[in-house]
Amino acid sequence: MVLAAGLGTRMRPITDRIPKPLVEVAGKTMLDHVLDPLAAAGIETAVVNVHHLADQIEAAVARRARPAIVVSDERQALLDSGGGVVKALPWLGDSFVIRNADSFWTDRTQSNVTRLIQAFDPARMDTLLLLASLTDSVGFDGAGDFFRDDAGRLERRGKRSTAPFAYAGAAIMQAADFAGRQPGEAFSLNDMWNASIARGRLFGLPLDGLWLHVGTPEAIGEAEAAIAAAN
- Hey, what domains does the chain have and what are their CATH numbers? 2-230 (3.90.550.10)
Name the average pLDDT for the chain. 92
Closest CA to 88 of 124, 129, 50, 136: 50
CB-count burial class (<10 Å; 0-12, 13-18, 19+) for 220: buried
> Per residue in 121-148, pLDDT tens?
999 999 999 999 998 888 788 889 999 9
pTM of this prediction? Answer: 0.92
3-state DSSP assignment of residue 204 = strand
Answer whether the bond into residue 13 is a cis peptide, omega within 30°: yes
Closest CA to 100 of 228, 230, 211, 217: 211
> Per residue in 187-208, pLDDT tens?
999 999 999 999 999 999 999 9
Report whether 99 contacts 1 (CB < 8 A).
yes
pLDDT at position 4, please? 93
H or E stretch at 68: strand 68-73
Q: Please, which pLDDT band fits residue 10 given cuts at 50, 70 and 90?
A: confident
pLDDT at position 109, please? 82
Residue 230 has pLDDT above 80, yes or no: no
Q: Please, which pLDDT band fits residue 108 given cuts at 50, 70 and 90?
A: confident
What's the rounded Cα separation, in Å, for the pair 9 and 61?
A: 22
pLDDT at position 119, please? 97
